[in-house]
């Protein structure tokens, strides 16, 4: 469906759709209560979750009023305690004057609910009630009061399941945008934190919040983010993945150019580096731009453990990256083209395992890799209860039976396992999946051209990476272009007191991270007395 | 966009035009050769190849059925390459030569010249340059490949390792690789010596698994001495001590045991732990004079006589005795080489490096020049320790 909008020469259909989508919600509120109610009913097709509660205000004038809200989105307790009770009982003390204007004001003054706005047209009314507010219509007034009775069911803040850490905060984003912004606000208690909300999606009207720290983020990038968000013309946003695909720089690349995270601490750290976060209502995954490759190789925990541990683990990750990408292709290239580069004893044991296997190495590798991918996908989609079955079948089929039946060689099983394990070391799923895809390309190159093919493949991959940009920032920063200060936090993780400047090219260059004198920050040994 | 398109096409084009190793071969489509042997019969060259049977060789493989770990294939032809390709009539797979560990030349062929066989070895792209070259004595080279060995399942590996181990710990063999041999043959500055493989027992007994099922194998291939070459022709053999003398003079000794007589009766053994040598040629009034300086470091390893070892003077005495014995040993080797007119020590090389222009003139007659040249031998031995004890047990025994 979204593709409809991008097609040229479809203007007629587009107009028709626009009519349906926009309706005429911009109509002004009428002063007749009945008219208003029947319009709402008509607009919503008498939806069963739409609650219209009609009642009489006070006991003197007998002014009729109606509360309109959506069942399940509001906190009914608040409506009862802070709206209904006020309007039916508390109003009686102020109900002396007969003037209409005064009635409206006294109604407003007795409402003890925290957040109220006046609405004059239906767009505003709908905006409020679909977000969980309650609209108060009073007979005789062409205005409505929207009260913030937001509530309804939402998930509690839980530990994020996709990025686990051993040391570090355990809270994760939820599906509620207000919870999510509050989680960040709790970490960055500064008046410079900017949170700006907008709605995207013609049907879904999804709330999207843009967060950045004023002064740290480059104004140009902030403007660019708004521009790209404004350009989105789509009916539905159900997950931040929609936004990601619609605003990324290069649509045709396996590599992720927008970072996402479920962890408020990662996003807060990104904001402090001058990046811009995009929170989408209804998903715990928050986007962060601009993104560079090294970000996807980092875990929040790198910063919580000491710097030497962080550095070692990062080196381990980059090694795993190469193994996950190239292990099967190296195996194919060496066993079919370059048998001379292995020590004799090793080639003998490889040859012994290859004796009697029916397929060439490349076919064998493809069979095993595809089987593994299928098993993994099955494992992810399977109901939790039968998850164990997958591991049993996988271990038996891949590990034992296939080897014993002589269909694949034991070395191939080792290669597939090592690629699988190393792939899990990469902390971010979207980069891991990019490697999974590229691996097959490399396997084909190795099968057809040997190590030479792998080399050409690597050159092409690096050239492609160099050509990528994320909101104007080269994807391979700080390696290409090479930046001395950037090295402090890429493969290495320098001690916190040594990282004085924020990443160049990303943040506002005038800002410094820490004191000019690193000596002030360096922990000193206590002197002995 | 056009740029990108061209770029991708350039890559694809490069892939097809530049790929050097186009022919892919699966591991179970090649016959891994571990050793080659060359013999000569009349005009034809007989090539024997030892082919590995991976299923039997690999450790921890359940497929082992108790068959022989290697098998050898023989064929003959006017050239080496022809003979090797002819082998396919017998071999089910194509011979793969990259994992060759050593090459052995038969005595007959070596006496007539190994030049014919060597060209193929240096020309073929599959051959690596790190395998050892040796000569067989009194048996045909092909027969050596038929002998199974016990400790190493792969007999080629056994011969490779025992050459290495003997060169490192005893000093009787030389680790000549094919590229070293080629340099010698092409520059004419140094003549070649190769390790010699002999067979103890009847070589035909080694051709059977029963050979490795005995505590003492019937047939064994082992190293003994060296073969001296003049250009590409085998001219004579060296015995154990002559071989070691050559290694000492060339500075190729890493470790060895030198036995010297004590003052009174009995013997004393010195372990050499470090060795270096320098070869110089000086010109004195048109007369050439060679100098061979050998520096060794050792420790006392075995004393079978009464002697005192606790003062510096005692040690000095032993140092002097050792260098005298070694000087004798080296001298014997050099004299033999001079009588053969084959300069394997490398005097020619140091002369050529010092006087490159004059070398060109006398290159052709260097053999006789070398034979007539007076050669001074200086051996310096430094004994660094006496092991875990000082004075020998013998001093106490007879009191």
b/e string for B143-170 if b means 16 or more Cβ within 10 A? bbbbbbbeebbbbbbbbbebbeebbeeb
Whether this prediction's pTM lies above 0.90 is answered by no
Q: Is B207 part of any domain?
A: yes
Q: Is B17 part of any domain?
A: no
- Per cent of chain A over pLDDT 70 is 91
Looking at B238, B254, B282, the residue that finishes a domain is: B238
Instruction: Clarify whether residues B287 and B353 are in a common domain.
Output: yes
E strand map for chain B? 30-41, 44-52, 70-77, 94-96, 102-105, 132-136, 193-200, 220-230, 233-238, 256-261, 267-284, 287-303, 375-385
Q: Is A413 on the interface with B (CB under 8 A)?
A: no
Mean pLDDT for the stretch of residues A114-134: 86
A351 CB neighbours in chain B (<8 A) are 27-28, 30, 32, 52, 54, 58
Contact B28 A356 (CB under 8 A): yes
Rg (CA), chain B: 26
Instruction: Clarify whether residues B187 and B62 are in a common domain.
Output: yes
Given pLDDT bands bounded at 50, 70 and 90, which one contains residue A2? very low
pLDDT of residue A19: 53
Closest CA to B30 of A368, A361, A416: A361
Assess whether pLDDT exceeds 80 at residue A172.
yes
pLDDT tens-digit profile of A184-226? 999 999 999 999 999 999 888 899 999 999 988 999 999 999 9
The angle subtended at Cα A456 by Cα A482 and Cα A290, nearest 5°, is 35
Instruction: Clarify whether residues B313 and B361 are in a common domain.
Output: yes
Contact A354 B58 (CB under 8 A): no
Instruction: Clarify whether residues B255 and B323 are in a common domain.
Output: yes
Contact A456 B14 (CB under 8 A): yes
Q: Is B13 part of any domain?
A: no
pLDDT of residue A170: 92
Contact B157 A344 (CB under 8 A): yes
Instruction: Clarify whether residues B184 and B324 are in a common domain.
Output: no
pLDDT of residue A316: 95
Structural domain of B233: 26-238
Distance CA B90, CA B198 (A): 28
Q: Which of residues 344-363 of A touch B (CB under 8 A)?
A: 344-345, 347-357, 360-361
Given pLDDT bands bounded at 50, 70 and 90, which one contains residue A314? very high
More confident residue, A379 or B83: B83
Chain A residue with Cα closest to B57: A348
The angle subtended at Cα B240 by Cα B239 and Cα B241, nearest 5°, is 100
Closest CA to A347 of A363, A336, A362, A358: A336
| Residue A242: how many other CB atoms lie within 10 Å | 20
Q: How far is CA B173 from CA B196, B295, B329, in A?
A: 8, 20, 16
pLDDT of residue A515: 59
pLDDT tens-digit profile of B327-373? 999 999 999 999 999 999 999 999 999 999 989 998 889 999 999 99
Instruction: Name the helix (H) or strand (E) containing B219.
Output: none
**Alpha carbon of B117: minimum distance to chain A alpha carbons (Å):** 22
B20 CB neighbours in chain A (<8 A) are 452
In sequence order, what are the residues at sequence separation of 6 or more whose Cβ sits closer than 8 angstroms to the Cβ of residue A187? A264, A265, A268
B30 CB neighbours in chain A (<8 A) are 339, 351
Contact A221, A281 (CB under 8 A): no
Assess whether pLDDT exceeds 50 at residue A1.
no
pLDDT of residue A124: 85
Looking at B197, B215, B238, the residue that finishes a domain is: B238
- In the beta sheet, which residues pair with residue A117? A146
The length of chain A in residues reads 529
Q: How many helices (H) and strands (E) does chain A have?
A: 19, 12
Distance CA B384, CA B300 (A): 8
Distance CA B283, CA A130 (A): 107
Domains of chain B: total: 2
Distance CA B367, CA B231 (A): 10
Q: Is B136 part of any domain?
A: yes
Among A469-483, A487-501, B81-95, name the one with the lowest average pLDDT.
Answer: A487-501
Distance CA B37, CA B121 (A): 12
Contact A117, A128 (CB under 8 A): yes
Instruction: Clarify whether residues B31 and B171 are in a common domain.
Output: yes
B57 CB neighbours in chain A (<8 A) are 348-349, 352
B1 burial level (CB within 10 Å; 0-12, 13-18, 19+): exposed
Q: Is B69 part of any domain?
A: yes
Distance CA B384, CA A12 (A): 100
Given pLDDT bands bounded at 50, 70 and 90, which one contains residue A356? confident
pLDDT of residue A206: 92
Mean pLDDT for the stretch of residues A31-58: 88
- In the beta sheet, which residues pair with residue B144? none
Q: Is B5 part of any domain?
A: no
B28 CB neighbours in chain A (<8 A) are 351, 354-357
Structure tokens at A19: 């009519």
Instruction: Clarify whether residues B49 and B194 are in a common domain.
Output: yes
Chain B residue with Cα closest to A445: B15
Candidate from A353, A354, A450 with C-beta closest to B26: A354
pLDDT tens-digit profile of A434-455? 999 999 999 999 988 889 889 9
Instruction: Clarify whether residues B105 and B213 are in a common domain.
Output: yes
Instruction: Clarify whether residues B258 and B170 are in a common domain.
Output: no
Contact A449 B52 (CB under 8 A): no
Instruction: Kindly give the pairing relationship between strand B193-200 and strand B132-136.
Output: parallel
**Alpha carbon of A428: minimum distance to chain B alpha carbons (Å):** 29
Structure tokens at A133: 């507010």
Assess whether pLDDT exceeds 50 at residue A5.
no
Instruction: Clarify whether residues B217 and B259 are in a common domain.
Output: no
Instruction: Clarify whether residues B202 and B141 are in a common domain.
Output: yes
Chain A residue with Cα closest to B9: A460
Q: Is B368 part of any domain?
A: yes
Instruction: Clarify whether residues B304 and B326 are in a common domain.
Output: yes
Instruction: Name the helix (H) or strand (E) containing A433.
Output: helix A429-449
Find the chain B residues whose C-beta atoms sit closer than 8 A to any C-beta of A: 7, 11, 14-15, 18-21, 24-28, 30, 32, 34, 52, 54-55, 57-59, 61, 63, 96, 98-99, 101, 126, 128, 154, 157
Point out the residues of chain B with pLDDT beneath 50.
none
Q: Is B230 part of any domain?
A: yes
Assess whether pLDDT exceeds 80 at residue A23.
no
Chain A residue with Cα closest to B25: A336
Contact B55 A450 (CB under 8 A): no
Closest CA to A376 of A441, A433, A442: A433
Looking at B186, B211, B238, the residue that finishes a domain is: B238
A236 burial level (CB within 10 Å; 0-12, 13-18, 19+): middle
CATH number, domain of B252, equals 3.30.300.210
Distance CA B253, CA A390 (A): 62
Assess whether pLDDT exceeds 90 at residue A79.
no
Mean pLDDT for the stretch of residues A138-161: 87
């Amino acid at each position: 469906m979204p593709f409809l909008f991008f097609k040229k020469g479809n203007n007629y259909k587009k107009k028709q759709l626009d009519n349906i989508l926009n309706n005429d919600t911009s109509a002004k509120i009428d002063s007749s209560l009945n008219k208003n109610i029947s319009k709402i009913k008509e607009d919503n097709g008498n939806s069963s979750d739409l609650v219209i509660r009609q009642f009489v205000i006070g006991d003197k004038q007998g002014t009729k009023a109606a509360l309109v809200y959506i069942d399940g989105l509001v906190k009914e307790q608040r409506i009862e305690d802070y709206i209904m009770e006020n309007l039916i009982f508390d109003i009686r003390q102020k109900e002396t004057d007969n003037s209409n204007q005064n009635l409206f004001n006294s109604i407003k003054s007795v409402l003890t609910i925290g957040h109220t706005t006046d609405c004059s047209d239906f767009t505003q009314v709908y905006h409020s009630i679909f977000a969980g507010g309650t609209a108060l219509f009073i007979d005789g007034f062409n205005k409505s009061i929207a009260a913030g009775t937001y509530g309804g069911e939402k998930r509690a803040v839980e530990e994020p399941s996709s990025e686990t850490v051993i040391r570090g905060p355990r809270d994760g984003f939820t599906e509620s945008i207000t919870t999510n912004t509050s989680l960040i606000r709790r970490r960055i208690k500064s008046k410079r934190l900017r949170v700006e909300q907008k709605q995207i999606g013609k049907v879904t009207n999804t709330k999207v919040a843009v967060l950045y720290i004023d002064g740290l983020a480059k104004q140009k990038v902030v403007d660019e983010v708004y521009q790209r968000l404004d350009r989105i013309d789509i009916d539905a946003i159900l997950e931040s993945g929609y936004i990601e695909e619609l605003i990324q720089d290069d649509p045709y690349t396996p590599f992720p150019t927008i970072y996402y995270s479920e962890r408020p601490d990662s996003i807060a750290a990104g904001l402090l580096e001058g990046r811009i976060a995009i929170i989408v209502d209804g998903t715990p995954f928050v986007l962060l731009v601009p993104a560079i490759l090294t970000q996807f190789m980092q875990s929040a925990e790198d910063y919580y453990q000491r710097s030497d541990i962080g550095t070692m683990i990062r080196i381990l990750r980059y090694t795993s990256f190469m193994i996950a990408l190239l292990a099967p292709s190296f195996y194919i290239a060496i066993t079919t083209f370059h048998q001379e580069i292995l020590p004799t004893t090793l080639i003998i044991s490889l040859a012994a395992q290859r004796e009697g296997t029916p397929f060439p190495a490349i076919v064998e590798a493809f069979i095993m890799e595809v089987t593994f991918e299928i098993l993994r996908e099955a494992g992810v989609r399977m109901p939790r209860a039968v998850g164990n079955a997958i591991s049993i079948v996988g271990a038996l089929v891949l590990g034992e039976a296939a080897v014993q039946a002589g269909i694949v060689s034991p070395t191939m099983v080792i290669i597939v396992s090592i690629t699988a394990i190393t792939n899990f070391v990469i902390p971010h799923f979207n980069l891991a999946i990019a490697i999974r895809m590229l691996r097959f390309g490399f396997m084909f190159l190795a099968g057809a051209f040997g190590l030479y093919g792998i080399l050409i493949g690597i050159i092409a991959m690096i050239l492609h990476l160099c050509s990528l940009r994320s909101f104007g920032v080269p994807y391979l920063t700080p390696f290409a272009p090479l930046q001395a200060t950037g090295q402090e936090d890429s493969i290495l993780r320098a001690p916190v007191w040594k990282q004085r400047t924020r990443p160049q090219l990303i943040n506002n260059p005038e800002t410094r991270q820490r004191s000019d004198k690193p000596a002030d920050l360096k922990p000193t040994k206590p002197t002995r007395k | 966009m056009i740029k990108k398109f061209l770029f991708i096409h350039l890559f694809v084009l490069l892939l097809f035009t530049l790929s050097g190793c186009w022919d892919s071969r699966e591991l179970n489509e090649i016959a891994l050769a571990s050793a080659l042997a060359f013999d000569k019969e009349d005009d034809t060259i007989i090539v024997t190849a030892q082919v590995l049977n991976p299923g039997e060789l690999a450790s921890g493989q359940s497929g082992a059925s108790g068959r022989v770990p290697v098998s050898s294939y023989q064929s003959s032809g006017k050239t080496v390459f022809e003979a090797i390709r002819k082998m396919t009539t017998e071999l089910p797979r194509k011979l793969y030569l990259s994992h060759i560990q050593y090459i052995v030349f038969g005595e007959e062929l070596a006496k007539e010249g190994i030049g014919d066989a060597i060209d193929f070895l240096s020309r073929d792209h599959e051959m690596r340059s790190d395998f050892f070259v040796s000569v067989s004595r009194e048996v045909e080279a092909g027969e050596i490949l038929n002998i199974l060995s016990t400790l190493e399942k792969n007999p080629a590996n056994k011969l490779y390792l025992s050459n290495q181990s003997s060169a490192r710990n005893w000093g009787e063999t030389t680790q000549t690789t094919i590229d070293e041999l080629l340099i010698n043959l092409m520059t004419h500055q140094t003549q070649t010596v190769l390790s010699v493989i002999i067979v103890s027992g009847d070589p035909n007994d080694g051709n059977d698994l029963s050979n490795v099922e005995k505590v003492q194998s019937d047939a064994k291939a082992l190293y003994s001495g060296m073969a001296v070459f003049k250009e590409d022709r085998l001219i004579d053999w060296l015995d154990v001590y002559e071989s070691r003398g050559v290694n000492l003079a060339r500075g190729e000794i890493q470790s060895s045991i030198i036995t010297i007589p004590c003052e009174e009766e009995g013997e004393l053994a010195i372990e050499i732990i470090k060795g270096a040598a320098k070869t110089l040629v000086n010109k004195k009034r048109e007369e050439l004079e060679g100098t061979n300086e050998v520096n060794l470091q050792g420790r006392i390893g075995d004393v079978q006589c009464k002697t005192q070892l606790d003062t510096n003077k005692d040690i000095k005495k032993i140092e002097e005795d050792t260098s005298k014995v070694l000087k004798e040993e080296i001298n014997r080797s050099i004299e033999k080489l001079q009588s053969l007119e084959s300069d394997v020590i490398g005097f020619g090389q140091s002369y050529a490096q010092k006087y490159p222009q004059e070398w060109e003139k006398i290159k052709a007659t260097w053999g006789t020049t070398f034979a007539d040249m007076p050669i001074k031998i200086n051996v310096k031995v430094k004994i660094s320790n006496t092991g875990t004890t000082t004075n020998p047990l013998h001093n106490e025994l007879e009191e």
